[in-house]
Amino acid sequence: MQLSFRWYGPDDPVALEKIRQIPGCVGIVSALYHVPPGEVWPEDEIRELVRQVESRGFRLTVVESVPVHEDIKLGRPARDKYIEAYQETLRRLAKAGIDTVCYNFMPLFDWMRTSLAYPLPDGSNSLAYFHDEVDEEALLSGRVKLPVWNIDEDGEKLRRLRDEYRERGDEGLWDSLAYFLRAVAPVAEEVGIRLAIHPDDPPWPVIGIPRIIGRHASFVRMFEICDSPANGVCFCSGSLGATAENDLPAILRDLGERNRLHFVHLRNVKRVGEKSFYESGHLSRDGSVDMAELVAILAKLDYQGPARPDHGRMIWGETGIPGYGLYDRALGLTYLNGLWEASRAFVTNRV
């Protein structure tokens, strides 16, 4: 397992020099975050990102993410030009040595939370989501800035997009995903890139907008739509673990046995009600996800791909990007490294 750490580029408050000091960390997960969805990534900027990462002794293990344009998700006539741009970006990333690309197919919003600093009993704070606190009108008008992505649009445009997605529905969104994968996966396979779709976060509809990638059956259907070995999954224990309906060990085993496990996010959540949770520390005892069991399964699968701790608590007075402080994610990576070493020792009969 290639333990990695997300880095948001030169403007990230967490510098690569600090990440170098985390025991067990060998890779960096990053992207060209300033490039708008639908545009081809400049080759010189891709090379510079790789250079910055490698100059600190890391490998750029995953590009997370190459965003999918809304016209592709909505099946609009302009989607073909955006798909062509996506294909070209994959070719350029492969040319620069990148072999794993994470993306998601969440309409309008990326991951969503209702609190950026939910207080925990130990004095730290974390991201949290309470479904009954989602204020649709405040969100769409911009009066309330929830921690979501792709929200820098005027309220009227957001309402039109909301209505369009509601009309398209689950099956329409599945049609869009199928069209995208059948066009993009062959290119990824040709250039040696593994695509890793990230589960919807949270894994249920928000403000009536469909979300289709959140259950075991979702992945199975996706593989039936596009059987390319390039078509794989980013297993996110936090996103999938937000609902008790998901059997995380079974999903992880199945993805591994199908050879479609292309990337892993290991973080914990504490479910505190129906469609409500907060992000706990990474330890199994702190949340609703048995992290030790998941890492043991990865060890039995002899998983050799990239994995990273995901969102962490904000501890010891740290400020910065919510969920992406240094301290708790560093503790999380060290904990995961310990679980991995112990699990591999058992698997290989060294203890």
Q: Annotated catalytic sites, by residue?
A: 198, 236, 265, 310-311, 324
Containing 251, the helix (H) or strand (E) segment is helix 248-257
Cα first-last separation, the chain: 19
- Candidates 249, 190, 258, 182; CA nearest to 219 is 258
Q: Structure tokens of 285?
A: 């005892």
Decide: 199 and 244 in contact? Cβ < 8 Å: no
299, 303, 304, 306: CA torsion to nearest 10: -100
Q: Report the Cα 29 to chain-centroid distance in Å.
A: 11
Distance CA 145, CA 342 (A): 42
> What are the DSSP E strand ranges found in 164-296?
194-198, 231-236, 261-266, 269-273, 276-279
Q: Structure tokens of 336?
A: 């995961």
- Candidates 116, 96, 16; CA nearest to 50 is 96
